[in-house]
């Protein structure tokens, strides 16, 4: 994974679409590797295989739960706060050791922006009678997963 503010921004936006995807993919990229010298507590935690496995399960569960009608909107204040916190976490790791604070702010801001953008696009796509909400949600899942995968593989 290339450590940069661009990576932090991209993974933050992914986190806005699907809360657990950014953390799960970063953890997967770090798992099985010895953390770099001077790595922070969060990076060391995410590098554990068991944490990567738990986050992968959480991310898969989130993909399923998202389709349920009783799932709260991603822009609900509590939900949005969770996305911002996850975006800050993923952004601080993705930005690199020297830019953790700026990465956290970037990740959190992009998570909020991504949440609103995804919510708006899903709402507008749902107004088209030919596109059922589940189809739109699955397309958003595919976008979030492929973008996260690409960002951690770069």
Angle at Cα 140 formed by Cα 43 and Cα 135, nearest 5°? 145
Of the two residues 135 and 115, the one the predictor is more confident about is 115
Q: Record the pTM.
A: 0.93
Residue with tokens 């796509």: 125
Share above pLDDT 90 across residues of the chain, in percent, rounded to a whole number: 76
Tens-digit pLDDT profile for residues 52-101? 999 999 999 999 998 888 888 999 999 999 999 999 999 999 999 899 99
Of the two residues 110 and 124, the one the predictor is more confident about is 110
pLDDT score at 127: 81
**Whole-number Å distance between alpha carbons of 128 and 10:** 28
Helix (H) or strand (E) holding 82: helix 77-95
Contact between 15 and 23 (Cβ < 8 Å): yes
User: Residue 132: is its pLDDT beyond 90?
Assistant: no
**Whole-number Å distance between alpha carbons of 90 and 38:** 17
Distances (CA, A) of 133 to 51, 64, 66, 147: 32, 13, 11, 21
* Encoded tokens for 5: 């503010």
Tens-digit pLDDT profile for residues 7-58? 999 999 999 999 999 999 999 999 988 877 778 899 999 999 999 999 999 9
pLDDT score at 104: 98
**Whole-number Å distance between alpha carbons of 61 and 65:** 6
């Amino acid at each position: 994974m290339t450590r940069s503010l661009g990576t932090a921004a991209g993974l933050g936006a992914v986190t806005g679409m699907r809360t657990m995807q950014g953390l799960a993919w970063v953890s997967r990229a770090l798992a099985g590797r010895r953390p770099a010298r001077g790595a922070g507590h969060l990076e060391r935690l995410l590098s554990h295989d068991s944490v990567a496995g738990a986050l992968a399960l959480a991310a898969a569960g989130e993909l399923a739960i998202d389709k349920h009608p009783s799932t709260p909107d991603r822009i609900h204040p509590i939900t949005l706060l969770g996305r911002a916190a996850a975006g800050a976490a993923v952004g601080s790791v993705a930005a690199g050791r020297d830019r953790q604070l700026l990465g956290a702010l970037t990740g959190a801001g992009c998570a909020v922006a991504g949440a609103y953008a995804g919510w708006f696009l899903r709402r507008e796509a749902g107004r088209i009678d030919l596109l059922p909400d589940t189809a739109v949600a699955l397309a958003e899942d595919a976008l979030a997963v492929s973008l996260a995968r690409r960002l951690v593989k770069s």
